[in-house]
Structure formats: C-alpha cells, structure tokens
Amino acid sequence: MLQINEEKWNIYDPDRILSYKLEGFDTSALKFGADIHPREDMMQLTHKESNCIIDFGYYGCEIKLDGFYAVHVIDGNLEEAWYHPLERHESIGFLQGIANVQNMLAKYT
C-alpha cells in the first residue's frame, strides 16, 4: 500500500487503488471491467502547499493492455506545465508504476 501523508496531499483515486493491499497484488484485476481500470487518469496527488502534482496513468490499449504506466511530476504553478513535466517515469508493470509513485511522493513531500 502507498504511504501518503493526507495532511499534505489531496488525493484523486477513482478506483480506490489506495484501499488495496498491493504486496502480492493479483495483476489479473487490471482487465477492462475489473475493479481497477487501466486508463490515463488512474490517480492524481496534489501537494496542498506547493501545488506539485504526481499523476499516475496508463497509456495504451485498455483492453489488450499493450501500453505502459507513467508517473508525471508537474509543477502546478506553471502555465502549460503538463507539456514540460519535472519528471516522467514509465514502467510496463502496474506494481513498478506504484513504486514510482511512492518514490516521487518521498522526493516531493
């Protein structure tokens, strides 16, 4: 499970990824129509003070799962910041993507 200081971060988590025990997570749940839906907007965390955004999403075919997971770190104070992320990390696996989110949380908290 991700460790997030909810006093510092606003959380958007439509699939309730944070409610899953991710150690030993069964990645077969990542199919179209299952509980967690691979899509561009899977989770977004916004720092309440700095407006730093950590965005987690899936890029590729959501049915065939032939894409990748990406974590973008955005300076939410800058105009058009989405075109110039501070960092971007890609992974093929969901759990590695979650690990990338955790690493960025540790770095930007």
pLDDT digits (tens, 9 = 90+) for 9-25: 999 999 888 887 766 66
Residue span of the structural domain in which 66 resides? 9-108
Q: Is residue 99 part of a domain?
A: yes
Amino acid at 79: E
The stretches of 22-93 forming alpha helices (DSSP H) are none
Mean pLDDT of 74-78: 97
Lowest mean pLDDT segment, chosen from 30-34, 76-80, 87-91, 96-100: 30-34
Q: Is residue 3 part of a domain?
A: no
Give me the pLDDT at residue 30, please.
62
> How many domains does the chain contain in total?
1
Amino acid at 37: H
Q: Is residue 1 part of a domain?
A: no
Residues in the chain, how many? 109
Give me the pLDDT at residue 22, please.
66
Q: Is residue 30 part of a domain?
A: yes
Angstrom distance (rounded) from CA 84 to CA 81:
5
Q: Is residue 43 part of a domain?
A: yes
Give me the pLDDT at residue 103, please.
97
Q: Is residue 2 part of a domain?
A: no
Sheet strand arrangement including 9-12:
9-12, 43-47, 52-59, 68-75, 87-91
Give me the pLDDT at residue 10, please.
97
Give me the pLDDT at residue 18, please.
87
Give me the pLDDT at residue 54, please.
98
Predicted confidence band of residue 73 (pLDDT cuts 50, 70, 90): very high
* Position 35 pLDDT exceeds 80: no
Average pLDDT, the chain: 89
